[in-house]
Structure 1
Amino acid sequence: MTAKELEIAFQNAVDKVNSHKEPFPADVLLRLYAFYKVATRDQSRPGSKTPLINAFKANALFQVQEMDIDEAKKSYVAYADKYFQSIS
């Protein structure tokens, strides 16, 4: 997959996740959150007002800290695809 194809697949997956109306399981959201943060090089801190949620987000980020950007994009796409296949 070329860099352009990967970017398109990633953006399509992000759009699909963002437009999904049903709630996601917490574990799925945390994984997608971590992959997205790495894929977009977003280094802002978790911004929840609930310390426990911030702790879970920080843990999810810790688990993917060694991923590079392309690997995170591929993981996001694959994880989103797997989730949507499991609910259809």
Structure 2
Amino acid sequence: MDTELDKKFNEAVARASDTSQEFPPDVLLLFYAYYKHALGENPQLQLEHSHKAKHLIKAFKMNALIQVKSLSKAQAKEKYITLVNKYIPSKK
């Protein structure tokens, strides 16, 4: 059974997935970290000795995940919803 928070979170995910809007990298990282944490996913990002750009992107993702790890799943969902409401206008 979905809670009210789960319903709002799923609606926010749908809005974020449906937008063609572009966001600054720091905002994209917040979307990524809150979403992954809200779902309980904690991807183990390993920094490979490959292309420098990939290495840098993985490092930023890891940093974003570390910054939200103290949040509960519910808090991460709430922050994700707030972020969507701030950056993606509702179509209603």
Normalised TM-score (structure 2):
0.81
Instruction: Report sequence identity in percent.
Output: 38
Q: 2:77 aligns with which of 73, 77, 81?
A: 73
> What is the CA-CA distance between 1:46 and the residue it aligns to?
4.2
- 2:19–2:88: 8 Å Cα contact kept in structure 1? no
Amino acid at match of 2:67: Q
Gaps of 5+ in 2: none
**Alpha-carbon separation, structure 2, partners of 1:20 and 1:46:** 27
Amino acid at match of 1:70: A
Larger radius of gyration: 2
Amino acid at match of 1:20: T
Q: Secondary structure at the match of 1:42?
A: coil
**Alpha-carbon separation, structure 2, partners of 1:59 and 1:43:** 12
Gaps of 5+ in 1: none
Q: CA RMSD in A?
A: 2.0
Q: Secondary structure at the match of 1:70?
A: helix
**Alpha-carbon separation, structure 2, partners of 1:5 and 1:70:** 11
1:12-23 to 2 correspondence within 5 Å?
Answer: 12-23=11-22
Aligned pairs, how many? Answer: 83
Structure with a larger share of its residues in helix: 1
